[in-house]
Amino acid sequence: MREGRIRSMLEEDIPAIMQLEKECFPVPWTEDMFRCQIMLGDVSANLVYAEDDAITGYVVSWFGVEELHILSIGVKPERRGRGIAENLMDEAIRRSMKNRCKKVILEVRRSNSRARKFYQKLGFRHIGVRKKYYSENAEDALVLEKDIEIST
């Protein structure tokens, strides 16, 4: 079985991430969006899951005031259901705690039932709706939130 590891996203990862992005989303991020995200440095957690030479998952996020905002997370279709996204989320949360983040927040398409099930499994709760948030099809975003558990 392949063993993966989580590490920070590098600029040279962008071509592989773009490929993955196209497999994950109807409206993929652009290369420049990932480049800007990497440039945020310490106020963000941008991580990849690397298996052998392949990148099979990623998460991009930034640290707001006491709040980790997950901007995007994706896993290669053939590698889903193995805990890769959960591991990426855990590591982003772990890094955000150094920046005093106390909760995680994200938006998800109403129609994205797989992702909604995934977030439900992780303990996210529904706190609101952003109407017509996704402009290309005027779809609503559900806003989900979860407290970060501080272990002592």
Ligand X SMILES: CC(C)(COP(=O)(O)OP(=O)(O)OC[C@H]1O[C@@H](n2cnc3c(N)ncnc32)[C@H](O)[C@@H]1OP(=O)(O)O)[C@@H](O)C(=O)NCCC(=O)NCCS
Q: Convert residues 79-108 into a mask of x (bound to ligand X by CB under 6 A) and - (unbound).
A: -xxxxxxx---------------------x
- What's the CA gap between 116 and 74, in Å, rounded? 13
Residues of span 24-53 touching ligand X by CB under 6 A: 24-25
User: Applying CB under 6 A, does 140 fall inside the site for ligand X?
Assistant: no
* Smallest distance from ligand X to CB 152, Å: 26
8 Å CB contact between 66 and 46: no
* Smallest distance from ligand X to CB 76, Å: 8
User: Applying CB under 6 A, does 19 fall inside the site for ligand X?
Assistant: no
- What's the CA gap between 40 and 115, in Å, rounded? 26
Q: In this chain, which stretch among 6-14, 60-68, 73-81, 132-140 interacts with ligand X, using CB under 6 A?
A: 73-81
Q: HSE (CB half, 13 Å, CA atoms) of 57?
A: 24
Say if residue 98 is exposed, middle or buried (CB neighbours under 10 Å; 0-12, 13-18, 19+): exposed
Query: Which of 114/125 has CB closer to ligand X?
Result: 114
* AA identity, residue 99: N
* Smallest distance from ligand X to CB 118, Å: 3
* Smallest distance from ligand X to CB 31, Å: 18
Query: Which of 85/104 has CB closer to ligand X?
Result: 85
* Smallest distance from ligand X to CB 148, Å: 18
Q: What would the two tokens of residue 62 be? A: 């930034």
4, 1, 35, 2: which is closest to 17 by C-alpha?
35
| DSSP label at residue 82 | S
Query: How long is the chain?
Result: 152
Residues of the shown chain interacting with ligand X in the complex, contacts defined by CB under 6 A: 24-25, 73-75, 80-86, 108, 112, 114-115, 117-118, 121
